Structures are given as C-alpha cells and as structure tokens.
Amino acid sequence: MLKAVENTQLAFNYDIVPEPVAIQAREAAQRIKLRLRRSAEDIIEIGRDLLAVKERIGHGNFTPWLQAEFGMSEHTARRFMGVARQFGDKTSIVRDLDPTALYELAAPKTPIEVREEIEKMIEAGEVVTKATIAQLNAEIETAKKGRELADNDAAAAEEKASTLKADLDGLNGSIDERVSVEVAKTSAEIRSGYEEEIERLKAQLDEFLKPKNTTTIDNETGNIVQFHRELTPDEAANVDAADDELIGADFNEVASETERAIAFFGAVRAMSSAKANPAAVYAYITKRTSQDLINEYMGMVGDVLSQLQAIKEMDNV
C-alpha cells in the first residue's frame, strides 16, 4: 500500500500548462490522493488518470508533476498505468486480486499466456496470489526455453543430417564414378583380351591352313625339293591321263602281271614327279567329283598304300 508523501517544497507549478490541463491535473491529483488506500479498482482508476495526464501535460512535465503532487516515481506510475492498460475493461475479473499480484500480472515481462490462465483461474473461483503468477511465469519461461532448446537441437540435427546427406551424396557420386571407371576399364581389358585371343586364333588358323612345307626327292635330279606348291596344268593333265589309263574297264582282265606292275609304278612315278601338295591334289579332285567317287578314290589310296607297304616289306627280307 502506497502512502502519500507531503512535500510542500516540490509543489507543482500549474502555470506552465494551459488552464484546462491544469484544472484536469488538479482534479486527478485529488482523486488519486483519495485512492492511495486503494483496491484493484482504485489502481485501475489511478492508472487511467495518470495515462490521461501524461498524454496532455507535455513532454518533460509528467515526472515533475508526479513528484510534486504525490512524491511518486515514474516507475511507480508506470505500474499503475500498466494495470489500467491491461485490465481497464476487466475490472470485475481482477477486483479481488491483491495489489502486488495485480502489478505482477500487468508487468510487461508477464506473457499473455499467463494472464489468460490467471483469468481462467479467477473465473473458476481459485485464489490467485503474486506467488501463483510468479510460478506460472517460471513454468512458461521453462517451457519456452525447452522449446528453444528443442528447436535449436532440431535445427542442429537437421543441419547435421543435411551435411551428412551432402557428404553421402558426394561419396555415392564418387563411388559411382569410380565404379563406372573400373567397369569401363575392366570391360576394355576383357574386350582387348578377347580381341587378342581372336587374333591369335585367326593367326593359328591361317597358319594351319597354309600348305605344309614338306619335302620330296626329284626323280630327275635326285635333289630334295619342297613339296608344297599347287599342281601345274600339265601335271594335272598327267594325273588325269594316268587315272584314265588305270580305270580302263578291261585292263585288269587283259594285262599281264608285268603290264600291271608297269602301270602301277607308272602311276606312282607320275604322282611322285608331280611334286604337288597332297591337299591341292585332293582339292582339285573334289571340285569335279561326286562323294561316291571320292570314297572310291580313298579306297584306292588305301589299296595302293597296302601294296606299297607289302613291296617295302619284301625288299627288307
């Protein structure tokens, strides 16, 4: 409870303000003095009067007026005016509050959530004190700090997650790039290996298909010569002629043993003198011969080889 402080030395000079304002200020001063033993309603009314005077008395005059009329500090006046601003239209709600509780509730530091909660408690018939308001303020402040911490933690976690995601994306990109490089490199090596192997096999095939450089004895000169060339037209004609002679229908019937021996070695001599690649001879024959005739020739070759082997064996005896 505030008490008026008499101080005749600080009397306010109303001559410095317009007469209507001076009249209003003097009347307000009287009402305020009567309400210094105040209830909540008195506090609200004092606050209203203070607000009205402050608005009109002019810049720099309000604090001297407070000190001259009531010995009141500007801080105390702000508490009255704060109550009037917050609860000027809610007198019926806060009229039973203790002045200290009313000042605490109207203070700028008190959140609107606390004021709304206190009003609900008063309407519900609960007793509200300054301690009640202070406790709610502390709870609201704690909850606010908790939310701030949670928001900060969430923001930090989100930032960290974003950083980790960026790092992971970069790592994935790097891994993908390295994998692509390694796959391309390995594919190139495999392809190169296949190509090299194919070329090697082609070379082997070409080498295999080349006529073999075998040797034979030239019957006319006695020299060892390479047996690898194709048949000449004359040599091919001689082979054909020998073939035609040997396959005569009645030759084996009419020829003597000596004539057959001469024909046999004549054929051998013709083949030996041809100095041709056997593969070339075979290719030449198969170009114009049926498979049946080729099979017959192969049988003849077998017979000739058997006879030549028998002759060699006789020579060795």
**What's the distance, Cα to Cα, between the start and end of the chain in Å?**
159
pTM for the structure as a whole: 0.40
pLDDT over threshold 90, residue 52 = yes
CA pair distance 121, 113, nearest whole angstrom: 12
Strand ranges in the chain using DSSP code E only, listed in sequence order: 214-217, 224-227
The model's confidence at residue 65, banded by pLDDT at 50, 70 and 90, is: very high
Place of tokens 């001076």: 22
For helices 99-106 and 130-209, what crossing angle results, to 10°?
30
Which of 48-57, 106-115, 294-303 comes out lowest in average pLDDT? Answer: 294-303
Q: Read off the pLDDT of each residue in 271-291 and give the average, rounded to a whole number.
A: 69
Length of the chain: 317
The per-residue pLDDT for 262 is: 77
CB-based contact 96:40 (threshold 8 Å): yes
Which backbone phi and psi does 224 adopt, to 5 degrees? Answer: -85, 125
> In this model, does residue 192 exceed pLDDT 80?
no
Q: Confirm if 50 and 77 have CB atoms less than 8 A apart.
A: yes
Q: Which two tokens stand for residue 208?
A: 């295999």
Question: Would you state the pLDDT for residue 63?
Answer: 92
pLDDT for the residue 50: 92
Q: Is the pLDDT of residue 312 over 70?
A: yes
Task: Judge whether 225 and 275 are in contact, CB under 8 Å.
Answer: yes
Detail the DSSP E strand segments found in 218-276.
224-227
CA pair distance 1, 36, nearest whole angstrom: 7
pLDDT for the residue 78: 92
The answer on pLDDT for 5 being more than 50 is no
Q: Could you tell me the pLDDT band of residue 263, with boundaries at 50, 70 and 90? A: confident
Lowest mean per-residue pLDDT among 53-67, 114-128, 291-305:
291-305
Instruction: For 76-88, write each residue's pLDDT tens digit.
Output: 999 999 988 888 8
Given a contact cutoff of 8 angstroms between Cβ atoms, the answer to whether 225 and 215 are in contact is yes
Asked if residue 252 has pLDDT above 90, the reply is no
Residue 90's pLDDT band, with cuts at 50, 70 and 90, is confident
Chain segment 111-170, per-residue pLDDT in tens: 888 888 888 888 888 878 888 888 888 888 888 888 887 777 777 777 777 777 776 776
Look at 56 and 286; give whichever has higher pLDDT. 56
Helix, strand or coil, per DSSP, at residue 188: helix
Q: What angle do CA 232, 237, 240 make, to 5 degrees?
A: 130
Rounded-to-integer distance, Cα 106 and Cα 96, Å: 15
- List of long-range contacts for 252-256, beta carbons under 8 Å, 24+ apart: none
Closest CA to 298 of 274, 278, 312: 278
194-239 pLDDT per residue, tens: 678 777 777 766 665 555 555 555 556 666 655 555 556 676 666 6
> Tokens representing 15?
């001559």
Q: For residue 5, which amino acid is it?
A: V
- Whether the Cβ atoms of residue 281 and residue 231 lie closer than 8 Å to each other: yes
Residues ≥6 apart with Cβ < 8 Å to 211:
228, 229, 277, 279, 280
101-114, pLDDT tens digit by residue?
A: 888 888 888 888 88
Average pLDDT over residues 270-298: 70
* 156, two tokens: 């930090």
Selection from 25-39, 213-227, 272-286 with the highest mean pLDDT = 25-39
Mean pLDDT of the chain: 75
Tokens in use for 10?
């600080």
CA 36 – CA 38 distance, rounded (Å)? 5
CA distance 268 to 248: 17
Q: Which of 43-52, 198-207, 244-253, 267-276 has the highest mean pLDDT?
A: 43-52
Position 317 scores a pLDDT of 63
pLDDT band at 7 (very low <50, low <70, confident <90, very high): very low
